[in-house]
Chains A and B, each alone.
Chain A
């Protein structure tokens, strides 16, 4: 660590302490909680409440137990619907109503295993990143330079962006909502739901509050979509680099 680094670190440390003290005082005067806390808790509650038994693929050996749970786990509330009012005659199943012709659709792409993909896509992708070590064998925790961090985030953003699908939210007031996600990928590049956390959402107002959950899920789906995996990144830059990433999902350029 050279002199300049020591000065910078010292300044940062002193600044953090001072900022903490100042904000502690000023926050006492605030009446409302920071918006992002409410978002994270809301989403977590929504998902967590349903996550118990059905939150993982069921191995064949477990199927018998799960079959029992259909009765044991709380079944959905049954909503009785009233008697038919305009079409009293029973409508038998009408095969003719089935669509015999399906709209041509793209055959879902069957993805090769991650390692295979990484091998096939690696050529040229890591250009300019971590030129000092790209072998994937080193577990060095050497400092990652600003240039490397910038390159890493650029790679990650470019990988995620094609899967940031707004779908029905496009063109609505939902586009004013910016979602902030934190992802902490495994060293092998895999990413599961538990490695994604919602730091907050801003731009939520009375006209788009109904879309808040959907915007958060659109961002989360973007990073979890297997069509947009983490790009191959140098192992040497994992620690202090791409092991901890914050992404701001901005639907459109705000004016």
Chain B
């Protein structure tokens, strides 16, 4: 086109001037009664949990299965979905006394006015069906009641024993669609279960679903165990054990239940964490009173030292792209957070907020690092990987050990009250809202979230 840039620029300036002139004339015109949309600003939204209805799911044919009758399962699947959504803090399920019975035809054709009447903004419906292949199918449908429109649907086929997972997946679909966040309900938590008096405490590694179901102890409590961490592929767990009074890092195979030593060295090894590809473990090793961070293949082999400074370097955690590692070090006098490249180069301090910082964990989104801030109590906080934007999320006597949910929106940590009381697990939203206790059968510390299950 044969139009020179200065000409375009001039035209744009003229257009801008004309726009401004038009604004003036429009104002005059409006006063004179010109038609056209009236326009205004709705400034400042509120923040309340969304009202959502999760009625019992019907079954096309009531069939007895190893997990119970499909009619009962339909009710229980709805309860699991409802509890997941409620516990996220973002949803306020309509009380069951106001829910209507849903039959199969209504699953795909909801009675919107009726659901609107009970105050539901969104509606989750579905069905539970026993398949001829010995598996259970759960259909899951999400609707926008106000807009009278379906939003999303999905179906899940599971073994009967895994019916809760189908419910979690349905809740994940709803959560992800309505919040814009990633899913996280269909995941597990490994943690240290604590029982007994403080001077003779029994510590066992335990694993449970995110909602506390399917709880299981993995170790027998004869040895003290610390810092269990799920592998990103969910197949193994690494942790530190005082087995035979020698504190060492072990790898636990979830499938087989077998455990093995990670590094065969005559030194204390501790604070392990996996690389994002699950191929390596970074850990700390104390050699002659100096603790540095090392990396070793999960299968074993010769560890590679990544730090080499006087003092204690520990709590290493990979960035999700595997290119950097955040860790804590007292090389400057007190514990502070540092970031380095995955090969140990370019180490630099990122925490400067006063007090001490410990147990960092890099968010699965990569945008934040969660940590424990020490000084006037222990608190959970987050900051960007360059150390900026620090925010403290909790305020209690002793909150520590943050672990990110797979979606990078929720953080688990453990809280220890004053005195001899047992610690407990808690979760907090990354915005600092919705702090909630997670139910565990006994005391609990050192939580680590699994990845989303396949």
The verdict on A91 contacting B67 (CB below 8 Å), with A99-B79, A221-B121, A248-B42 known, is: yes
Whether B42 lies near A23 (C-beta < 8 A) is: no
Whether A153 lies near B149 (C-beta < 8 A) is: no
Chain A's interface size range is: 35 or more
Q: A55 on the interface (CB 8 Å rule)?
A: yes
Cα separation A70 to B98 with both chains bound (whole Å): 26
Whether A149 lies near B111 (C-beta < 8 A) is: no
Partner of B50, one of A92, A156, A167, A182: A167
Q: B244 on the interface (CB 8 Å rule)?
A: no
Complex contacts, B113 vs chain A, CB 8 Å: 57
Q: A139 on the interface (CB 8 Å rule)?
A: no
The size of the chain B interface, using a CB distance under 8 A, is 117
- Chain A minimum-CB-distance residue to B8: A29
The verdict on A169 contacting B179 (CB below 8 Å), with A50-B149, A70-B104 known, is: yes
Whether B19 lies near A66 (C-beta < 8 A) is: no
Q: B28-36, B285-293, B335-343, B372-380: which one contacts chain A?
A: B28-36
Q: 8 Å CB contacts to B: which residues of A50-67?
A: 50-51, 53-58, 62-64, 66-67
Q: A40 on the interface (CB 8 Å rule)?
A: no
- Chain A minimum-CB-distance residue to B73: A93
For B93-113 the 0/1 string (1 means CB < 8 A from A) is 011101000001111111111
Cα separation A174 to B188 with both chains bound (whole Å): 28
Whether B40 lies near A240 (C-beta < 8 A) is: no
Q: Nearest Cβ distance between residue B2 and chain A, in whole angstroms?
A: 12
Q: Nearest Cβ distance between residue A24 and chain B, in whole angstroms?
A: 10
Whether B112 lies near A56 (C-beta < 8 A) is: yes
Q: A214 on the interface (CB 8 Å rule)?
A: yes
Whether B11 lies near A22 (C-beta < 8 A) is: yes
Q: 8 Å CB contacts to A: which residues of B246-299?
A: 254-255
- Chain B minimum-CB-distance residue to A7: B28
Q: B332 on the interface (CB 8 Å rule)?
A: no
Partner of A242, one of B3, B11, B38, B111: B38
Cα separation A29 to B11 with both chains bound (whole Å): 12
For B153-166 the 0/1 string (1 means CB < 8 A from A) is 11111111111111
Partner of A70, one of B76, B107, B149, B163: B107
Whether A79 lies near B155 (C-beta < 8 A) is: yes
Whether A57 lies near B111 (C-beta < 8 A) is: yes
Q: B438 on the interface (CB 8 Å rule)?
A: no
For B129-162 the 0/1 string (1 means CB < 8 A from A) is 0000001010111011011111111111111111
- Chain B minimum-CB-distance residue to A1: B32
For A76-111 the 0/1 string (1 means CB < 8 A from B) is 111111111111111111000111001101011111
Partner of B37, one of A46, A98, A246: A246
Cα separation A53 to B161 with both chains bound (whole Å): 34
Whether B32 lies near A8 (C-beta < 8 A) is: yes
Q: List 18 additional A-B contacts (Cβ < 8 Å) besides A81-B156, A108-B95.
A: A1-B32, A19-B22, A25-B8, A56-B109, A63-B106, A64-B105, A81-B159, A87-B216, A90-B67, A108-B94, A167-B48, A167-B90, A171-B47, A245-B37, A248-B39, A248-B41, A252-B43, A253-B44
Shortest 6 CB-CB contacts between residues of A and residues of B: A143-B33, A108-B119, A170-B47, A171-B431, A76-B155, A153-B40
Would you list 29 pairs from A and B whose C-beta atoms are within 8 A, ordered by A residue? A8-B34, A15-B21, A25-B8, A47-B150, A47-B151, A54-B143, A56-B148, A62-B109, A73-B108, A76-B153, A79-B155, A80-B135, A81-B162, A81-B169, A90-B67, A93-B76, A98-B79, A107-B95, A108-B119, A110-B117, A143-B32, A149-B38, A161-B44, A167-B179, A171-B432, A192-B148, A241-B38, A242-B38, A248-B39
